[in-house]
Amino acid sequence: MTPTQAATAAIAADHAWGDPAIWITRRPDDAIRADAARLEQEGPQGRPLWGLTFAVKDNIDVAGLPTTAACPAYAHTPQTHAPVVQRLLDAGALLLGKTNLDQFATGLVGVRSPYGIPRNVFDPARVPGGSSSGSGTVVAAGIVDFSLGTDTAGSGRVPAMFGNIVGWKPTIGSLSAIGMVPACRSIDTISIFAGCVHLARNVAGIATGFDAADPYSRHAPFAHLRATALPPGLRLGVADIADLCDPAQTEAYARVTAPFSTTPVDLAPFLEIARLLYDGPWVAERSAALRPIIEHQADTLHPTTRAILEAGMNRRTVDAFAAFHRLAEVRRLAETLFTRIDALLLPTAPFTPSLAALEADPIGPNSRLGTFTNFVNLCDLAAIAVPAGIGADGLPTSVTLIGPAWSEHRLAAIADHIHRAHSTRIGNTQTPLPPPPEPDALDPSETALFCIGAHMSGLPLNPQITSLGGRFLRCDHTTPDYRLYALGNRPGMLRAEQGASIAGEIWALPTTAIGALLAQIPSPLGFGTVSLSTGPCLGFLAEPHALPTAPEITHLGGWRAFLAQP
């Protein structure tokens, strides 16, 4: 659509949905139309988000609009946009307004706001999810194309589940947090809601960038948002969730995990850390961000928010250090875990609570919602929540792909595959998912590498590729001019006049990382130019002197076939 058409459609959808609790500040229709007309007159000018509509959670600054964090006493009107908002506007996106949230982003339910409770798009008797309640709902209802939320304990993922949309929780520090009201400043991040993984990734690619003004901002070690193909040998970590989820989520989890090669993961250490987020020093970190209000304006706070924040004022430093040390241990466990699996696959949340349940118990259901989300930010992990189909109860189910910091490109390929396998529409609309994206072409800063052995997807040395920023492009095979030998736990390939075609995989690596990878390759293996069916490519080759005594396995056609032998 043109910007004018997009604005007209968004305004009409908002009026038709008719839920003012989505918004804290909704821009006037005429202002939205005027911006759309300006964008249309200017033309795309290469702007990748030209005419796409979006909304911003009201704990992120938009110049000229109040920032309230759902607390009227806190309200102020910034003069400049948050850097992430500025990047999106510069890319041609069209802003509708600022959305409701659990006050000061404290909660996963979406009901802790003096501005009302956004209506759950599938069942008005259920909570919308929080804290990014309005941001999730405005996408799920088909009003805007995407929105910004924030995520500390799952606020960018739980509303995505309840709305049957994608929740993108980026690596902490990859998006500037300047202009965002902090919750737990050391683990907060701005997040993205969208109808599909491809759009969320594109928005993330524009919003991401180092900001020297943000002390928690980080330089990406490699281009971590390029689209990658789904590798053939995925290893997904899974957990026993039978006693943690309701029947609909349990059934969906079993259905989603069934096609994959899986590795059981002990969640106990991660669940322990998850509990610390609201029963440890990070409660005090929330309180530190809002200390003046707690000490001088506590009566302006939502009762549940006040109880949580006041509790943080009495935490002991000795307990904080014990928690920090335990977190360091669990972070190390996570590092080790992701050398054995490509991603951890979990339900996004155990269930969808009702408004009545929250009225009866404002704390318990909220705490349970964070079962699979609370530990992610603490452990410095990236995550993408995606729809997993509608359950027998008529409510959406969802799973989340979790990986190390800067693994979003790998997670996105898996997440998109799962989304398309189990869901066909966006939110609670009739809008179908767009066609799947193609992997990004090889960038000038990358080098294609043909892998034939243990560096292939799902095999033991593949983490040497992925940790350096490698992304899977496609399977391929050599011309029929090579012989293959078994050298213990890896193969050796040699060009030969009477040879065969050998199967392998093409991975794109940052060119600057090729030397680091080569340093990890033992003799007699090395790199050389390999002749493929699609042309020449850098690939693994062996020195001839090491092969005469090695078993030849050329007739099998590849290392995976060799490993599959009885």
What count of residues does the chain have?
A: 566
The 3-class secondary structure across 24-59, one letter per residue, is EEECCHHHHHHHHHHHHHHCCCCCCCCCCEEEEECC
Cα(453)–Cα(238) distance, rounded to whole angstroms? 26
d(CA 16, CA 141): 10
- Dihedral over alpha carbons 239, 163, 157, 79 (to 10 degrees): 180
Tell me whether strands 446-451 and 503-510 are parallel, antiparallel or unpaired. antiparallel
Rounded to an integer, what distance in angstroms lies between the CA atom of residue 271 and that of residue 387? 23
User: Roughly what angle, to the nearest 10 degrees, separates helices 3-17 and 29-42?
Assistant: 160
Q: How far is CA 191 from the centre of its chain?
A: 8
Which DSSP string corresponds to 242-277? TTTS-HHHHHHHHHHHTTSEEEE---HHHHHHHHHT
Whether residue 119 contacts residue 100, with contact meaning beta carbons closer than 8 Å, is answered with no
CA distance 100 to 105: 10
Q: Which residues contact 410 (CB under 8 A, 6 or more apart)?
A: 228, 342, 343, 403, 466, 471
In single-letter form, the type of residue at position 38 comes to R
Contact between 84 and 190 (Cβ < 8 Å):
yes
The partner residues of 507 in beta bridges, in order of sequence, read 449, 472
For the annotated catalytic residues, the residue numbers are: 57, 131, 155
